[in-house]
């Protein structure tokens, strides 16, 4: 009985440290639904994004969401979604995630803001490190203007990051060589999802396996 009690106690210690729910960095509840910043897209400000700090406990990024509203232009906005490490002034290193082609669907804002969610799969991040999640139209310039505004919070609701942008035009390479611009004390309306790595869950599995073994031995 002593062995069985010890294993159960170990499981009880592990359980409070495990969360199966998604950890979410989320500024949407603080956004008023109307305040915005623009214009993102062609011909100039090709890149909008949000910097953020990875959670402290083995984070795996699963998705991110921005909200945008097209202006009346000759074209929609064609763009890609990316995640890079952030060195404090610009994206750095190789892309950690890049999407395929994405297209806005709300020209002239007839349907209001649209929420665009990008699934990143299971993107392992370094705890307590800075990253930037962003959309960029740089690779899709076709000499036809297409722009949009994005949901913006004019107060610093998320202290571990902020709204960043780049007037990099059609030169995607500038995103890792030139400093980006910022609006001090502002955040985009955004959400970033992450879950704990399975290593912690694996420890729980080992504990249950040990309990099962103790029963068989008894």
Express each pLDDT in 38-48 by its tens digit. 899 999 899 99
Return the pLDDT at 198.
52
Number of H helices, E strands in the chain: 2, 14
Task: Report the pLDDT value the prediction gives residue 64, as an integer from 0 to 100.
Answer: 97
Unique residue bearing structure tokens 């214009």: 39
| Nearest-angstrom CA–CA distance, 166 and 49 | 9
In percent, the amount of the chain with pLDDT more than 70 equals: 79
In the three-class reduction of DSSP (H, G, I as helix; E, B as strand; rest coil), residue 103 is classed as: strand
Q: Does domain 22-196 have CATH number 2.60.120?
A: yes
The yes-or-no verdict on residue 123 having pLDDT over 80 is yes
Average pLDDT of the segment spanning 53-60: 91
pLDDT of residue 7: 32
Regarding pTM above 0.85, the answer is no
Residue 210 pLDDT = 46
Confidence of residue 22 (pLDDT cuts 50, 70, 90): low
C-alpha to C-alpha distance for 16 and 182, rounded to whole angstroms: 39
Tell me what the pLDDT averaged over the chain comes to.
84
| pLDDT per position as a tens digit, 58-108 | 899 999 999 999 998 888 899 999 999 999 999 999 999 999 999 998 777
């Amino acid at each position: 009985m002593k062995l069985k009690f010890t294993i159960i106690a170990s499981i009880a210690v592990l359980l409070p440290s495990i969360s199966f729910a998604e950890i979410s960095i989320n500024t949407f509840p603080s956004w008023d639904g109307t305040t915005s910043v623009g214009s993102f897209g062609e011909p100039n400000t090709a890149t909008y994004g949000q910097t953020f700090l990875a959670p402290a406990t083995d984070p795996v990024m699963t998705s991110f969401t921005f909200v945008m509203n097209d202006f009346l232009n000759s074209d929609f906005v064609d763009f890609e979604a990316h995640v890079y490490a952030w060195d404090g002034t610009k994206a750095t290193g190789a892309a950690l995630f890049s999407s395929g082609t994405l297209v806005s669907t709300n020209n002239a804002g007839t349907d209001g803001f649209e929420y665009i969610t990008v699934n990143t799969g299971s993107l392992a991040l370094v705890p307590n490190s800075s990253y930037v999640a962003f959309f960029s139209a740089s690779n899709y310039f076709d000499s036809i203007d297409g722009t949009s505004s994005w949901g913006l919070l004019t107060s610093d609701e998320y202290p571990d990051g902020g709204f960043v942008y780049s007037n990099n035009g059609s030169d995607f390479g500038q995103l890792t060589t030139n400093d980006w611009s910022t609006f001090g004390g502002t955040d985009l309306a955004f959400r970033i999802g992450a879950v704990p790595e399975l290593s912690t869950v694996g420890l729980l599995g080992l504990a249950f396996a040990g309990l099962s073994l103790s029963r068989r031995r008894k």
